[in-house]
Amino acid sequence: MVIASAESLVEAVRDSGLFAPAAVEALARAVAPFGDDTQGALKHVVERNLVPVYQLRKVIHGKAADLIVGPFVVLDKLGEGGMGKVYKARDTRTGRIAALKVVRPQLLANPVIRGRYEREVRAALSLRHPNIAAAYEGGEAGGKVYLALEFVDGIDLARLVRTYGVLPVPEACEYLRQAALGLAHAHAQGFVHRDIKPGNLVVAGERHHPDATEPAVVKLLDMGLVRNVGLDDEMAGDLTRAGTVVGTPDYMSPEQAKNSSLADHRADLYALGGAFYFLLTGKPPFPVGSPIEKLLQHQLDAPPPIQAIRPDVPDDLARLITRLLAKKPEDRPQSAADVAAALWPLTKFTPESAKVRMSGTVPVLSKSDKSETGSVASADTVSPPGPGVKLPKRRPRQVPMDQPSVAESAPVPPTPPTPEVVKIPPPAPAPAPVVEQLDEEEDEPRREVPGWLVALVSAVLAAVTAVVVWKMMGR
């Protein structure tokens, strides 16, 4: 249907069947004065959010059917990964908002990929914990295979650090303590996540600091790589050979890089140590190099001592991070529960740590300061925020959640009043022009890592390990 007037726009919205009659009538009244000025009508609709932009784009391009996935109506696109796309959607049966993962149809023809998806569904549905994003249901409708997950309205830790700078020690400890609690539950059920990183940890509620009026809740996302420790070796090998590197090089443990199918729960603890490094320094342990070079550094090199970059890190925390990043799994803490217990005393704010500001020697990011992952790659030392300005509270867009979970939160002692403080609002990105926002969406081709490169990485790591062992024996 060609949208040539305000009237034809209303007709397209009505014909989609996605909107209640009252909403369509309200839209008709709002755009009637624009007559044949289609661009004016569209701009009016977008600026007043009469129809969500993503839905409007689909409707005006005659693709409203794409917005229906079983009992869910898609509201917006949140992102995409190797397995498919993730949408913000509404359950028409309950009104609940969910994150809806839809698998790429072409992938499901591959029995290995199909098995991987079904494994993810079973894992997600079996995990129930305040620090793990809940799975509601999995299904297939109209040729679309989907998994409905809890919609967490917050900010992931990677973006939090990139936006506001490195975190105070108590805040970083509280976030990763909660992540460790979620991991402890998953590990107790026999699952290993295999892709722990700041981008997969989302903070909802308020940031953890003395003036917070509600607890910060950390949710572990993306169970797409989770693996049952008891998975049959042959099936695990097939999944590993499916054509992708399993995990993220910046946070991947040495044993996972060699053979991801044999990595146990201690690989997640190594990645947790890498996440700690990022939250406190603004960069992963080995920020420079290609993916293969980073994997080799994880095998052979020790990262710079964290106290050389953040002198305020307590000795107990520095020792814990060193243990988490140990090359050998047996040299790390042996359970996520132990890590959470060790972090509990470090989540408390002292009068000094409660006085914070967002300036000082924390580096200001520029394009030249960022590594491939977008993390800070410059500045030899990073100081914590100093006294003067209160940490900003990050309250993202308010979307009702059906069943909010409140994670275990440390009681915070009162702190002395500070001088006049300045609240720093989150940066607001400039909106794209209306016409550009409503351009037809195009699927970007996925750039998969070929299987031969996976084999090459494994062979190189095995060879390097053999050479190191041989030299050590020669001594």
**H or E stretch at 137:** strand 135-141
Distance (Å, rounded) from C-alpha 68 to C-alpha 183? 34
SS3 content of the chain, % helix, strand, coil (to 5): 45, 10, 45
The number of CA neighbours under 13 Å toward the Cβ of 173 is 24
Residue ranges at the known binding site for ATP: 101
* β-strand pairing of 155-156 with 68-69: unpaired
**Coil, strand, or helix at residue 254?**
helix
Decide: 98 and 72 in contact? Cβ < 8 Å: yes
Give the torsion sign (CA, 56, 61, 62, 64): negative
Sequential DSSP letters for 354-386: HS--S-TTSPPP-GGGB-TTS-B---S--PPP-
Determine whether 301 is an active site residue: no
**Coil, strand, or helix at residue 219?**
strand
> Do 64 and 17 form a contact (C-beta atoms < 8 A)?
yes
Q: Which of these is catalytic: 66, 156, 195, 250?
A: 195
The phi and psi torsions of 266 (rounded to 5 degrees) equal -70, -20
Smallest CA-to-CA distance from 120 within 104, 105, 141, 135 is with 135
* CA dist list (Å): 245 to 103, 260, 442: 19, 9, 26
Beta bridge partners of 74: 89
Residues labelled as active-site residues: 195
